[in-house]
Each structure stands twice: as C-alpha cells, then as structure tokens.
C-alpha cells in the first residue's frame, strides 16, 4: 500500500511540475481507507486538489480534517475534473459505483 501511495504521489508531483494547473484526484468513499489515502496524498503533495464523494456527514468530517478540498454532491461531479479516481468503498458498493 505504501508503495502504491508513493507511486501516485510521485506521478502527481512529476505531472504538476510539467503543468501549471493543479492535479485533481477523486476519492469515492472517505472511510478509514479512503480518508487515510486522502490525508497521505495531501501530506506528500499539498498542491493536489482532492474531490471527495461520500455521505454528507462523512464529507463534512473529511473537510474538517483537511483530507479533501471539494465535497462533491454527485459521483459525476467528483470525477469530472479528476485525472485519477480512487474507489475506496466496500466491495458491494464498489460494484454499484462502477456500474
């Protein structure tokens, strides 16, 4: 998991140097896994913009914790500007999200 986060962080930093615009990442599901990924990405690459999608209460906690920059009200809004989308939901919900 740590190597995967490092690879995402490296790609974001490397891409950001080439481009003047901020890199955007969508995280669907901001529980223990999605929230931890968001916090780790923000810590390692503070310039990225993270769009989160979850229930309103979870989105509010994630914003307060500094894990996300934008609380998206729909899955489409979360992913529209993102170059990477991370699905961090339980398997049953992941299948619904992807369909």
Find the CATH number of the domain harbouring 39.
3.40.50.720
> What is the domain range of residue 35?
2-13+21-98
3, two tokens: 């190597």
CB of 46 within 8 A of CB of 17? Answer: no
**What is the count of structural domains for the chain?**
1
pTM given for the model: 0.77
Distance of alpha carbon 65 from alpha carbon 52, whole angstroms: 12
CB of 8 within 8 A of CB of 19? Answer: no
Distance of alpha carbon 91 from alpha carbon 71, whole angstroms: 22
Convert the pLDDT of each residue in 27-76 to its tens digit.
999 999 999 999 999 999 989 999 999 999 999 999 999 999 999 999 99
């Amino acid at each position: 998991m740590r190597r995967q986060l490092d690879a995402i962080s490296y790609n974001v930093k490397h891409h950001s140097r080439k481009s003047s615009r901020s890199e955007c990442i969508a995280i669907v599901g901001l529980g223990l896994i999605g929230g931890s990924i968001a916090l780790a990405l923000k810590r390692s690459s503070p310039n990225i913009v993270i769009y989160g999608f979850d229930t309103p209460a979870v989105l509010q906690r994630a914003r307060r914790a500094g894990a996300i920059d934008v609380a998206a009200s729909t899955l489409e809004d979360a992913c529209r500007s993102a170059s990477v989308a991370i699905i961090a939901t339980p398997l049953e919900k992941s299948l619904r999200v992807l369909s």
